[in-house]
């Protein structure tokens, strides 16, 4: 269970940053309730796991809304960059074609370093990963130990 707590804290730190530590316990308790109701029967009656998880989801949304609201009030502390890349003006398809034409060699496939040069594509990937549901990656406890190569 300690590893779950460490993983949860690291995830919160990477998503919310170090300033939002005061919400950690609230978020953890809501997430635990939400996780328990993840595979429950979807019957929304009072007292069921599904009902409790739906309430926890609403509470999580309220906590995150408070965090966003407080960050919006602190937005005057943000620094804005003056750099503007030519690739930002292009749409994603044009951006990818631009990088592909700029490449040297016969290899027409894109690799990881090429995608790093595509700011729009990178932002789409980051936003997709941010918005994607994490419920399929909830923590599970092993029912029995498994032996693999003698370990």
Going from the C-alpha of 140 to that of each of 6, 99, 144, the distances in angstroms are 15, 42, 12
**pLDDT given at position 92:** 67
Both tokens of 42, joined, read: 């979807």
Per-residue model confidence as pLDDT tens digits over 1-49 = 677 788 888 888 877 777 777 888 888 888 888 888 877 888 889 999 9
Instruction: Indicate the SS3 state at residue 91.
Output: coil
Burial tier of 31 (Cβ tally within 10 Å: 0-12, 13-18, 19+): buried
- Residue pLDDT, tens place only, 89-107: 556 677 667 777 776 655 6
Give residue-wise pLDDT tens across range 57-86.
999 999 989 888 887 877 655 555 555 555
127-142 tens-digit pLDDT? 777 776 665 566 667 7
For 82, the token pair is 């003056």
């Amino acid at each position: 269970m300690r590893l779950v707590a460490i993983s949860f804290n690291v995830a919160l730190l990477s998503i919310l940053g170090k300033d939002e530590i005061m919400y950690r316990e609230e978020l953890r308790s809501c997430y635990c309730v939400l996780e328990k109701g993840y595979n429950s029967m979807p019957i929304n009656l009072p007292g069921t796991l599904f009902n409790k998880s739906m309430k926890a989801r609403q509470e999580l949304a309220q906590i995150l809304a408070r965090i966003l609201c407080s960050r919006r009030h602190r937005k005057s502390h943000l620094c804005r960059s003056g750099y503007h890349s030519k690739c930002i003006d292009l749409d994603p398809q044009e951006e990818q074609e631009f990088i592909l034409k700029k490449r040297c060699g016969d290899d027409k496939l894109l690799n990881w370093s090429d995608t790093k040069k595509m700011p729009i594509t990178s932002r789409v990937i980051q936003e997709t990963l941010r918005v994607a549901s994490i419920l399929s990656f909830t923590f599970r406890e092993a029912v029995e130990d498994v032996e693999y190569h003698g370990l």
